[in-house]
Amino acid sequence: MMNQEFKKHKMMKRLLTAFVVLLSVSPAFAQSGGSAALGAAATTISGYITDLGLLIYAIGAIVGTVGGIRIYNKWTNGDQDINKEIVGWGGACIFLLLVPTFIAAIF
């Protein structure tokens, strides 16, 4: 019984060692030409930043309008759970207004 556990432990140790060696070697293969590809991707993306910001603002306007109409309908119908809706809607609007700023700052 003890011999089987020792063999099982030894096999697990070998598998773990092989896994660690595999993970430590893989970054060496991934580094060839990676910085040039990342530079090209950043240059390409930076050309689309203003268009992306305008798209996010347009989506935000549509979502904000629909959310405002939903809140107005709930308010006029006398729904008691309106405060949670207003906080969620306001948070989503603030998020959609800040996302283009952060994207432009990154690129």
**Burial class of 11 by CB neighbour count within 10 A (0 to 12, 13 to 18, 19+):** exposed
Rounded to the nearest integer, the mean pLDDT of the chain is: 79
Tally the residues of the chain. Answer: 107
Instruction: Specify the pLDDT at position 25.
Output: 60
Contact by Cβ (8 Å): 96, 63: yes
The whole-number pLDDT of residue 34 equals 66
Q: What share of the chain has pLDDT > 90, as a percent?
A: 7
Task: DSSP for the chain, please give it.
Answer: -HHHHHHHHHHHHHHHHHHHHHHHHHHHHHTTTHHHHHHHHHHHHHTTHHHHHHHHHHHHHHHHHHHHHHHHHHHHTT-S-HHHHHHHHHHHHHHHHHHHHHHHHH-
pLDDT score of 65:
92
pLDDT for 73: 92
8 Å CB contact between 55 and 100: no
- Structure confidence at residue 39 as a pLDDT band (50, 70, 90): confident
Task: Indicate the domain borders of the chain.
Answer: 58-107
First to last CA, the chain: 61
Work out the percent of the chain whose per-residue pLDDT is above 70: 77
Q: What pTM value is reported for the model?
A: 0.53
